[in-house]
């Protein structure tokens, strides 16, 4: 599972999510489907940690809203994760467990 955690842009990257708030997770199939749909960049690997700034989170969130694509199960999962970060005015960091 690829787990996403809330992280402020000014926070240093942690090697562990111990002190971060959990935002949600994606399985590998959902991750791959979201890459095909262009919502997760191909440069990201399911098995490697990565981070999205608040600006990137907002961009992805707005793309989903503008394209009105919230009726897809995979996109709904990502949208909920992004929504948590938006509400906290934060970015996200992903850790594969």
Whether the model clears a pTM of 0.85, i.e. scores above it, the answer is yes
Indicate whether 53 belongs to any domain: yes
The pair phi, psi for residue 25, each rounded to 5°, is: -140, 160
* pLDDT (0 to 100) of residue 77: 96
* pLDDT (0 to 100) of residue 54: 98
Indicate whether 68 belongs to any domain: yes
Locate 24 and state its tokens. 């949600």
Domain of residue 56: give its range: 2-9+22-96
What's 26's domain CATH number? Answer: 3.40.1760.20
Q: What is the mean pLDDT of each run of 10 residues along the chain (97 residues)?
A: 96 82 97 95 95 98 84 92 98 94
- Is the Cα dihedral 85, 62, 2, 13 positive or negative? negative
């Amino acid at each position: 599972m690829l787990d996403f955690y809330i992280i402020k842009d000014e926070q240093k990257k942690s090697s562990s999510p111990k002190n971060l708030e959990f935002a949600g997770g994606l399985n590998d199939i959902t991750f791959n489907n979201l890459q095909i749909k262009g919502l997760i960049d191909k440069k990201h690997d399911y098995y490697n940690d990565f981070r999205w700034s608040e600006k990137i989170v907002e961009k992805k969130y707005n793309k989903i809203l503008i394209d009105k694509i919230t009726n897809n199960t995979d996109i709904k999962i990502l949208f909920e994760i992004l929504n948590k970060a938006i509400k906290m005015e934060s970015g996200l960091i992903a850790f594969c467990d």
